[in-house]
Amino acid sequence: MDESGRSAQPPSNDDETADPNTTPDPPAPGKATEPPAPDAPEAAEPPHPHPEPDAPRPQAGTGHRPAHPAPYGDHTDEHPADGHERTLAHSGGTRGTRGTRPPQPPPEPRGGLLMGRPFGVPVYVAPSWFLVAALITWVFGGQLDRVLPELGAARYLVSLFFAVAFYASVLVHELAHTVAAIRFKLPVRRIQLQFFGGVSEIEKEAETPGREFVLAFVGPLLSLVLAGLFYLALQPVEPGTVPGVLLAGLMISNLIVAAFNLLPGLPLDGGRMLRAVVWKITGRPMSGTIAAAWVGRALAVAVLIGLPLLTQSGALGSTAEDSVGMDTVTDALLAAILAAIIWTGAGNSLRIARLREHLPELRARTLTRRAVPVHTDTPLSEALRRANDAGARALVVVDADGEPLSLVREAAIVGVPEHRRPWVAVSGLAQEITDGMRVSAELAGEDLLEVLRATPATEYLVVEETGEIYGVLSAADVERAFVKAMARPS
């Protein structure tokens, strides 16, 4: 399952509904979710308040006036809480003639060995998968020795085949989420097979509770379909044979995966389905997240306490006399791992929900700095004087027709000593404006962050829908506003 991000499958307790004398107990992963938070641009500047509607501009279409403009060269404090703003000439970056290097584009996410790209989504096998494959091979091989002792050492080859086939079933489960996400036009970053099952990283949240419900339900549904197919394939096969044992094991494992994931608590698929239902009733996604997360935490406590008790009572198919010693320790350890995964996943779901709730507060129009236009041969000292007079905090280099060419980098200004500024032209401190550096003033929230991630830079030109220049957006301001928004309670 995927909370607009990632879904993983922790192992569950063994289901012993099948006859232990004919079918060994397969491992049974469940699912846990920890969606990735939307990335914020790399910077560390304070955000700036919305411009006053009647603020004067030095030239039409060049930006807006901050609430507390500070003249260039004035060493004001950098924190808005103090009622001041840091000036362009003395703010940000590492000092030096080259200024700071713009953030680099993030590399393609990796997660181990690339196995393929079904539906265009990369599928990785994490190194931890090899550990769990070895564990399944050892445990399942020991059970095969009791059911089919004539296999001898070959039982471990059969067990390894079972481990690969089972994780192929997990991949089908994850692909169901992926196909649904693609159908709803939600970008999927990758699928990863790892120690606790599968992870589908979906980068955006479903827009409606109905889509959220479908996106969560398709995974367990495909696991149930696989269990049914394995059951049908088992009918003509003679019991007590290698094919019979493998098909029965895969059928039971997929049933357990489906059942475990349908439990109504985050981060499981059933928790996302519960979230969708509460969201539909209340009209608030956050209400659904809170309800499903607390149910998930209750499930974590129930697993921690209940699983060892069920094993000791013999309710899972073994006698109390058999559930002693090392088996008791193993059951308690498994219960603790499952409980920790569910509890942590529920907490992460709450954290990500709070982040998404605050993201709309990030608006390009609100965070944009007022800018003044200057020509390429304008000395830096003269450009800073004009900006001081206009109460602006950014410089846009324009051509003779007033068309923007480049943005003067704030960090580059810091690296120029004050006595040299009359002899340094602004063009030598500017970064050429590319298409990706033009940002609509109407962008906000995840849409704004997505545009900034696509073209990493320190400054962006903000324009109106008509193409008129509105001002300059600093990645530093977005970063600071992002941190402030997350610090506030929901």
Q: What pLDDT, on the 0 to 100 scale, is given for residue 397?
A: 94
Residues 6+ apart with CB under 8 A from 484: 47
Strand 32-33 and strand 7-8: the pairing is antiparallel
What are all long-range contacts of 181-187, with beta carbons under 8 Å and residues at least 24 apart?
Answer: 181/2, 181/215, 182/119, 182/121, 184/211, 184/215, 186/4, 186/215
Q: Tell me: the pLDDT tens digits for 72-129?
A: 333 333 333 333 343 444 333 333 333 334 444 444 455 689 999 999 999 999 988 8
Amino acid residing at 449 = L
Q: What pLDDT, on the 0 to 100 scale, is given for residue 286?
A: 86
Q: What pLDDT, on the 0 to 100 scale, is given for residue 489?
A: 63
* d(C-alpha 159, C-alpha 148), whole Å: 12
Q: How many Cα neighbours within 13 Å face the side chain of 236?
A: 2
* d(C-alpha 70, C-alpha 254), whole Å: 64
Q: What pLDDT, on the 0 to 100 scale, is given for residue 251?
A: 96
Q: What pLDDT, on the 0 to 100 scale, is given for residue 228?
A: 96
Q: What pLDDT, on the 0 to 100 scale, is given for residue 31?
A: 46
Whole-number Cα distances in Å, 437 to 354, 404, 441:
29, 12, 12
Query: Are 191 and 121 contacting, i.e. CB atoms less than 8 angstroms apart?
Result: yes
Q: What pLDDT, on the 0 to 100 scale, is given for residue 347?
A: 86
Element (H, E) at 382: helix 380-390
Q: What pLDDT, on the 0 to 100 scale, is given for residue 128?
A: 84
Query: What pTM value is reported for the model?
Result: 0.62
The parts of the chain modelled with pLDDT lower than 50 are 1-108, 319-323
